[in-house]
Structure 1
Amino acid sequence: MSAQNSAIAPLPVAVTGTVQAALGTLAFSFTFPAMAWALQGFGPWTLTGLRGVLAGLLAAACLAAAGARLPPRSAWPGLAAVVAGCVVGFPLLSTFALQQASTAHSAVVIGLLPPATAAVAARRAGTRLPRAFWLAAFVGALAVLAFTVRQSHGAGLATADLYLFVGLLICAVGYAEGGRLARTLPGWQVIAWSLVAALPVTAVTAALGLATEPVHWTWHGVTGLAYLGVVSQFLGFVVWYRGMAAIGVPRASQLQLAQPLLTICWAVLLLAEPLPALAVPTALAVVACIAVTQRTAGGR
């Protein structure tokens, strides 16, 4: 191979998949700050419905422009899991949580999402991951749990934490199923069809929310809603599912261990939030697990 041909050779699939999964993590790291902004203008039911409707209409336009065909029936159960976990369940529960807890606190708790996703994916595929992978994931999860209990001053889990834990479990199922489907469907179509399928639910949710909750059309509220609908709910998932399809759900999910630390940074820069004393050390401990899990989660 000539030097010229070598210079323009395509990047290995593992590299491009890792980059796409990392871009998805970066996009999702802004979700909680955007949600905090959006809650300045909208109630939780209104916000969950409107972000779903906005993303669903954008997804429908993209599917129509691409002339995409309906997914096969075999994909429908997986798409239903994405709808329940990623389009409706987690957005609503995390919105409830952010009404009671800070962005930084919520970001650290959601650090449990990567090992939860890896566990669901491994069980779904019937694969076994190395002990070192599970040990690193367990250490990260233990650090998050210790942080949560410490924040409650030993009183146990707060209501916001329960919302977040339930939300991350159903989100993990949606992530794992979406990553599996992205091996046979284009990654962007996985989330696009899920958003379109959820439109009746999100439209009713938005209508009920608008009828019962106050709305304030502030700049922060509208900006947060726009980011949640366009990026967090659609574009972020496009690169995220493509990355999971390329490098496997377990390995891609562990890249999300960096998300809590990134979200903490945005909480300080965008929201001027005071940080819990142990937020950064805990997030750094969780991020340290990435090196181990990335080296051991070689299977797809």
Structure 2
Amino acid sequence: MRSSEIRGLWLGAAGVAMFALTLPMTRLAVGTAEMPQLSGGFIAIGRAAVAGLLSALFLLATRAPLPRRGDWAPLAIVAGGVVFGFPLLTSIAMRHVEAVHASVILAVLPLATAVTGAWLHRQRPSAAFWACGALGSALVVGFALMHSGAGASPVQAADLMLLAAMACAAVGYGWGALLSQRMRAEHVICWALVIALPVTLPGALVLRPAAAVPAAAWWAFGYVAVFSMWIGFFAWYRALALGGTVRVSQVQLIQPFLSMLFAVPLLGESIDPMTLGFAAAVMATVIIGRRMPVRSLA
């Protein structure tokens, strides 16, 4: 393995470790349906606004050049996926499901990221690759069905939001990795956040809480704003550019397990055998799928 790929895997692990705290921290910030804290809309838009202001300062400090004309559209796609789509959908969903549950729903994200990367880099996954993806998706849907409460709809709206969030993240990761091959990885996420500021900054002011909120919720909000929305992407996009999207995306395999482990001390949640079994099964489909042939069309 080349040294750049090794660096990419290590940076990917650092980014995944930061992202793994996103679901537990979001749950801590939004509270529960019985004891709500910050609203999901404020957390999603507010964290992007904070990270956008930090990004503007960073771009000025590093004298970042303006993106090329052809880069603005991909940056808008990145913003749509990881600045708006994923944060908004997960922030709303996390008030209604536990972080452990959400970790399993999002466990197929590595395969979705690999698929997006293969498409953007003009690669053709084998039939076996797609079969693994279908099996992993079926396991996720099965888990959602088994965990839906008595009298509830077969699949909760929160589960559908999490699946849509997974798709948004995969698209944002893929396009961000593509841009990171010709731009500094840090500049990719910074520009995506800055171009979103005309929406996120006034939106955060409008959605800010009117009542007092516990300090723990604000600390959790601070984490998702600085680490989940900003610093984590510095490492993640650089990792995808160095090691390749398809290869480095497998590092995300450890993210659901880390999220579950973090949720236990932070939120007092528990991991039941069925949840752990489904998580392991989904991880297995992703691992096997990552080993299936993928040939280049170029």
Which TM-score applies when normalising by structure 2?
0.89
User: What SS does the corresponding residue of 2:64 show, helix, strand or coil?
Assistant: coil
SS of 2:124 mapped into structure 1: coil
**2:191 paired with 1:200:** no
- Check conservation: 1:46, 1:209, Cα contact below 8 A: yes
Aligned to 2:274: 278
| Equivalence for 1:179 | 177
Q: 1:39 aligns with which of 18, 25, 30?
A: 30
Instruction: Work out which of the residue numbers 5, 25, 32 in structure 2 matches 1:14.
Output: 5
Aligned residues: 289
Does the CA contact (< 8 Å) of 2:111 and 2:289 recur in 1? no
Shift of 1:276: 4.7
The code of the aligned residue for 2:63 comes to G
Deviation at 1:273, TM superposition (A): 1.1
Provide Cα deviations, 1:241-283, integer angstroms capped at 9, x if missing partner.
1111112212222221221111111111211013354211111
Distance in 2 between residues matched to 1:279 and 1:46, nearest whole Å: 30
Of the candidates 40, 45, 48, which is equivalent to residue 49 of structure 1? 45
User: Distance in 1 between the 2:144 and 2:98 partners?
Assistant: 12
Deviation of 1:297 after TM superposition, in Å, equals 6.8
Structure-2 residue corresponding to 1:242: 238
Q: Summarize deviations over 1:147-169 as a string: whole Å, max 9, x none.
A: 11111269521110111111211
* Aligned counterparts of 1:268 and 1:282: Cα–Cα separation in 2: 18
Q: Contact 1:83–1:198 (CA<8 Å) still a contact in 2? A: yes
Aligned counterpart, 2:95: 99
SS at match of 1:196: helix
Tell whether the 8 Å contact from 1:250 to 1:297 is kept in structure 2 after alignment: no
Contact 1:257 1:286 in 2 (8 A): no
**Structure 1 residue 138: deviation in Å?**
3.6
Identity of aligned residues (%): 33
Matched residues in 1 for 2:295 and 2:219: separation? 39
CA 1:97–1:297 in structure 2 vs 1: closer, same or farther (change >3 Å)?
farther
Give the aligned partner of residue 34 of structure 2. none
Q: Secondary structure at the match of 1:184?
A: coil
CA-based RMSD: 2.2
Matched, 1:27 2:10: no
Secondary structure of 1:278's partner? helix
- Relative to structure 1, the CA distance from residue 67 to residue 202 in structure 2 (aligned partners, 3 Å threshold; closer, same or farther) is same
- 1:115/1:141 contact within 8 Å kept: no
Q: Is the 8 A contact 1:97 1:163 kept in 2?
A: yes
How far apart in 2 are the matches of 1:247 and 1:111?
21
Report 1:54-93 matches (<5 A).
54-93=50-89
What amino acid maps onto 1:25 in structure 2? V
Gaps of 5+ in 1: 1-10
User: For residues 91 and 241 of structure 1, what CA distance do their matches in structure 2 show?
Assistant: 17
Match of 1:125 among 118, 121, 124: 121
Q: Is the 8 A contact 2:100 2:259 kept in 1?
A: yes
- In the other structure, the counterpart of 1:6 is none
Counterpart in the other structure of 1:4: none
Q: Is the 8 A contact 1:49 1:204 kept in 2?
A: no
Q: Distance in 1 between matches of 2:211 and 2:238?
A: 36
Identify unmatched segments of 5+ residues in structure 2: 32-36
Q: Is the 8 A contact 1:115 1:138 kept in 2?
A: no
User: Contact 2:15–2:236 at 8 Å: present in 1 too?
Assistant: yes
Letter aligned with residue 173 of structure 1 = V
C-alpha separation in 2, matches of 1:299 and 1:107? 31
C-alpha contact (below 8 Å) 1:191/1:238 kept by paired residues = yes
CA distance in 2, matches of 1:259, 1:136: 19
Per-residue deviation, 1:133: 3.8
Distance change in 2, residues 1:245/1:82 (3 Å): same
AA in 2 matched with 1:232: S
